[in-house]
Amino acid sequence: GQNIDQPTEMTATEGAIVQINCTYQTSGFNGLFWYQQHAGEAPTFLSYNVLDGLEEKGRFSSFLSRSKGYSYLLLKELQMKDSASYLCAGMDSNYQLIWGAGTKLIIKP
Amino acid sequence: IAGITQAPTSQILAAGRRMTLRCTQDMRHNAMYWYRQDLGLGLRLIHYSNTAGTTGKGEVPDGYSVSRANTDDFPLTLASAVPSQTSVYFCASSARVNQPQHFGDGTRLSIL
């Protein structure tokens, strides 16, 4: 079966660094996506990895290991506005996204 | 402003009624999707369309139908609403099937 696992909730301190992990099992693989979703709002695209390694985009970085079925999202210099849910999604061989339930990130001052 | 527009924003509906959720995009994206999002669960794909004129079933298609008569519009119809269809519904689009998906603001639907 297809499955995405990520922690339900994490807490971090403003200004710190946090790493949100995601493991995936998909039928075929066409990439790993990360989205941010603030409460009551739509998901917004953060990053896409299809090859192994680290992709950096400002304060956010995303890492992929295809051999381990593993990805993480790294958020640096945390700000209060980063409090949100972070959704991991794997794209299968039919180009359909399989979504995790999301990790709720709580930032404390 | 380019993007995806969903209507209505929210709706309360009696069980057994027919309802169509509207979705329009002006980005000329080829692919469009309908998801439902329920507390504690990931987004679940209801139906998709890889290009105008074609549609396909996702993970949870029962009780829903779609059409894709043109590039811009992708309505979702509940033929006879049931309480288990109470959810937040998101429409999304992508330029191609392997590209990032962009989401509308969602429709919050309650079936009583």
> What's the pLDDT tens digit per position in B35-62?
999 998 889 999 999 999 999 999 999 9
**Cα A84 to Cα A106: distance, rounded to the nearest angstrom:** 7
Q: Cα dihedral angle (A40, A44, A47, A50), rounded to 10 degrees?
A: 100
* A43 in contact with chain B, both atoms CB, cutoff 8 A: yes
Point out the residue among B42, B98, B101 whose CB comes nearest to the CB of A4. B42
Tell me the average pLDDT across A75-82.
Answer: 98
Could you tell me whether strands B10-13 and B107-111 are parallel, antiparallel, or unpaired per DSSP bridges?
parallel
Tell me the average pLDDT across A44-70.
Answer: 96
Distance (Å) of CA A8 to CA A5, A20, A22, A46, B46: 9, 10, 11, 19, 24
The pLDDT score that the predictor gives to residue B42 is 86
The pLDDT score that the predictor gives to residue A83 is 98
The pLDDT score that the predictor gives to residue B2 is 67
Higher pLDDT, B42 or B72: B72
B42 to A102: CB separation less than 8 angstroms, yes or no: yes
Predicted confidence band of residue A12 (pLDDT cuts 50, 70, 90):
very high
pLDDT of A39 > 70? The answer is: yes
B43 to A44: CB separation less than 8 angstroms, yes or no: no
The pLDDT score that the predictor gives to residue B106 is 97
Pair B66, B47: CB distance under 8 Å: yes
Point out the residue among A33, A43, A95 whose CB comes nearest to the CB of B103. A43
B100 to A33: CB separation less than 8 angstroms, yes or no: yes
Residue type, A34: W
Tell me the average pLDDT across A73-94.
Answer: 97
Compute the mean pLDDT over every residue in chain A, rounded to the nearest whole number: 96
- Within 8 A of B44 by CB-CB distance, chain A residues are 99
The pLDDT score that the predictor gives to residue B1 is 58
For a pLDDT cut of 90, what percent of chain A falls above it?
A: 98
pLDDT per position as a tens digit, B76-91: 999 999 999 999 999 9
